[in-house]
């Protein structure tokens, strides 16, 4: 898969809409304000979270952009993770990190303090894959 995989990158670019329309998810992250980096293959995305809403999503490269937490993975790993029913070991960010498919870097405190928010936020594009079926 190339770095220009339009379906895969289109999925993450719809993340603000998916998250912001989910009232329960926004409520779960209502105390969360930070910038994170999500890397899909070689393409970085800076995601600004404000009060549980995704206030901004910028596709990189982003020079000198700071972030508190980064989640990096190959396009193949993200594609499997975003399937409506991911295969074993691709269902969870920690399972992917354990297998060496994802790297989780930076300040882990916001991740662990808001774990369900992050897991649901990152899995939100699975709904798009289910719509295609």
Q: 24 lies in a domain?
A: yes
Over residues 39-49, the pLDDT tens digits come to: 999 999 999 99
Instruction: Count the domains in the chain.
Output: 1
pLDDT of res. 129: 67
Tokens describing residue 104: 């989780």
Q: Enumerate the H helices of the chain as residue ranges.
A: 6-13, 15-20, 23-28, 75-81, 93-98, 108-113, 115-123, 126-132
- Whichever domain contains 57, its CATH number is 3.30.1050.10
Dump pLDDT digits (tens) for 3-49. 567 788 889 999 999 999 999 999 999 999 999 999 999 999 999 99
Among 4-13, 75-84, 105-114, which stretch is predicted with the lowest mean pLDDT?
4-13
114 occurs within a structural domain: yes
Cα(127)–Cα(30) distance, integer angstroms = 22
Structural domain of 62: 6-125
What does the pLDDT read at residue 130?
Answer: 61
Residue 130 domain-assigned (yes or no)? no
The tokens for 99 are 């297998």
């Amino acid at each position: 898969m190339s770095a220009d995989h339009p379906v895969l990158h289109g999925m993450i670019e719809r993340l603000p809409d998916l998250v912001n329309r989910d009232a329960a998810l926004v409520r779960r992250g209502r105390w969360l304000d930070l910038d994170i980096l999500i890397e899909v293959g070689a393409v970085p995305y800076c995601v600004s979270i404000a009060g549980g809403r995704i206030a901004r999503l910028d596709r990189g490269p982003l020079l000198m952009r700071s972030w508190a937490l980064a989640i990096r993975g190959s396009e193949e790993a993200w594609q499997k993770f975003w399937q409506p029913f991911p295969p074993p070991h691709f269902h969870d960010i920690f399972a992917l990190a354990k297998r060496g498919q994802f790297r989780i870097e930076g300040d882990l405190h916001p991740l662990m303090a808001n774990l369900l928010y992050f897991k649901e936020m990152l899995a939100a594009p699975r709904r798009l894959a289910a719509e295609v079926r």
